[in-house]
Structure formats: structure tokens, C-alpha cells
Chains A and B, each alone.
Chain A
């Protein structure tokens, strides 16, 4: 390869990295907007439970799971055992099994090392955003990775900041508590490609609300998702069979 060509190609690679980061940032900011108030309130809660900034930094970096962290802090405060806290975390985050399985379709033949790094940043929010983006032209695994790690960094910074400044932020300012639900509403609509998806969404909502009223905890999300996907799958199969006959 000539010098000029080499230079051009490394220039292109650098430009590629910059645009990956820029696209990642552009896509990640609504998630960050939602993470900041939740992260700050986690910091406040943790501080009240006697945890310092280093404790919070460690937990947010190693665990990186909003609801589990809230539950862990309240369990710590209640004097629960380490085993009980870890087991609860595991159950609360089992839904990521489903997300990670659904995402695997998007990474055929990708190296394990990349997948291991990518997996660290899988959350409800990054999953939803990335699955919507993969349907668009020009979205790839590097941009998806950028979204995961930008939102991850935002979570870590907000939770640690919460230890220091959380008490100064008024609760409910500017409707920021609704940032993530609003984002989920739009991402849900992006998923409506055929009527089957809309029907499945309605079934999932009904199942999830019913299960959440009957059972405490977070199991209703997995149960409703599996249930709705199965019903949707059976509906599709029946429609196809009718079409063939």
C-alpha cells in the first residue's frame, strides 16, 4: 500500500470512529436525559443508606442495573445477607436473557470478545434504542456499542453526582420523570412494522398489567413478554396455515 493510500485509509478510519461516536451521542441523549434524574436519586438514597461516593462508583460500574441497585441499597439498609441480595439481583435482571437473545440475531459471526464487551452495556433502554436503529440504514455494531457505553458512563456519573448534589435538585422538575416512559412509547411505535406487532404489544400490555397486579416483584415483565411473543407467534402461524389452505 502506498503512503498516500495508507494515510487516506487511516484518515477514513478516524473519520469513521468520529462519526460512530457522533451518531452514538445523537442517539444516546434521550436515554441520558432519563438516566440523570434516576441516577441522582439513586445517589441520594445510597448516601442516606450510609454509602459513600466510592461505594456508589463501584456498584454503578460493576453492576450497572438501575432497579437492582435501588433494591440492593434498600436490602443493605434492612440488613439482608449478601446471598439474598445477589439472588434478588439475578431474578430482577433475568429479562436481559430475552433481550440479549433477541439481539444476537443482529450479530452473526461477530467475535466473542466484542460481544462480551457489548453485553456489559445492555439495558432496557439501550436495547430498545439499538433494536429500533438496526432497522435503519447506516446503523452498525460499533454505533450500538457507542450507545451502550455512553449511556453507561452517564449512569455512573449521575449516580456519583447524586451523592453530592442530589438533595439540591427539586423532585419532578420539568417533567423529567416522564423522559423514559415517553421514549419507550416512541420506541414501541417504531416496532410496529406489521399488524402482528401491534396485536402482540396490546397482549403484552394486558398480560403485564394483570401479572403485575397479582404478583409482587418484577417477574411480570418476563412472564408477559414470553406469553405475548408466544401468542403472537401462534397467531402468525395460524394465519399462515389459513393462507396456505
Chain B
């Protein structure tokens, strides 16, 4: 069974992950936000997605170094084209996995 030390860590971590998720939602949802802020927030999803995705495709190791030979990047380009063409989430996931698998096996 988990001891007190472990429980302390887990609940501390729980607060540390929950508060950044909860506070902006509860504080901002019932407020009229200024135009510049909603315009800025409108660009946040696209920025976050791109910022999360890109380093995994072209960097590797710790500390990270630029690595343009990863199967991730090779698979990402046709996957991107497929997504642009079809706009199908399910299709893109399946095609992406297939391409990645094929590239990893062939290398």
C-alpha cells in the first residue's frame, strides 16, 4: 500500500496539474473578454498544436539535437498531405500509423 510520503507527492502533483486546468476556465468563462484578448486566444490552439508537434519530428535525444533523419519526419510529410486532401481524422491516424510502421520496418 502507498505510504504517506507517496500520497503527499501524488496529491501535491494533483493540485499542480488541476489548478492550471481549472482556474482560467472558471475565472474567464463568465466574463466579457476584451477584443484583443479573444483575438489572441483564437491563435492559441493552432500555436500550441504546432509547438507540441514540431520538436518531436525534427529533434532527438537529451539534450535535444536537430535530427532530420527520423522516421517521424518522413511519415509526417505524406500524412500532412493526406490530411489536407481528405480532412479525415480517422483516416489520417490510420494512414500515419501505417506509413510510420512501413518506414520503421524498411529502414
Contact = CB atoms under 8 A, between A and B. Distances in A.
Size category, A interface: 35 or more
Interface of A: 30, 33, 54-55, 58-59, 62-65, 68, 72, 76, 82-83, 85-87, 89-90, 93-105, 107-110, 112, 115-116, 118-120, 122, 124, 127-128, 131-132, 172, 174-179, 181-192, 196-197, 200-209, 212-213, 216, 220-221, 224-226, 228-230, 232-233, 236
A55 B10 CA distance: 9
B51 A62 contact: no
Nearest to A30: B93
19 contacts: A83-B12, A86-B13, A99-B21, A100-B25, A107-B25, A109-B29, A112-B30, A177-B100, A182-B92, A186-B92, A188-B49, A188-B50, A189-B84, A197-B46, A203-B47, A216-B63, A221-B52, A229-B43, A233-B39
A245 to B, nearest CB: 20
B21 A119 contact: yes
A179 B93 contact: yes
Interface residues of B, number: 78
Contacts of B2: 54-55, 58
Main secondary structure of the interface of A (DSSP, over half): helix
B97 A186 contact: no
B87 to A, nearest CB: 7
Contact of B16 (A90, A102, A184): A90
B77 to A, nearest CB: 10
A108 B30 CA distance: 5
Given A55-B2, A183-B93, A221 B10 contact: no
A41 B49 CA distance: 24
B93 A187 contact: no
A213 B13 contact: no
B31 to A, nearest CB: 8
B93 A33 contact: yes
B51 A109 contact: no
Contacts of A64: 17
Interface in B10-37: 10-18, 20-30, 33, 36
Q: Which of A132, A178, A221 has the most CB of B within 10 A?
A: A178
Contacts of B89: 30, 132, 183, 186-187, 190
Contact of B65 (A55, A98, A213): A213
A118 B25 contact: yes
Given A93-B17, A178-B96, A58 B10 contact: yes
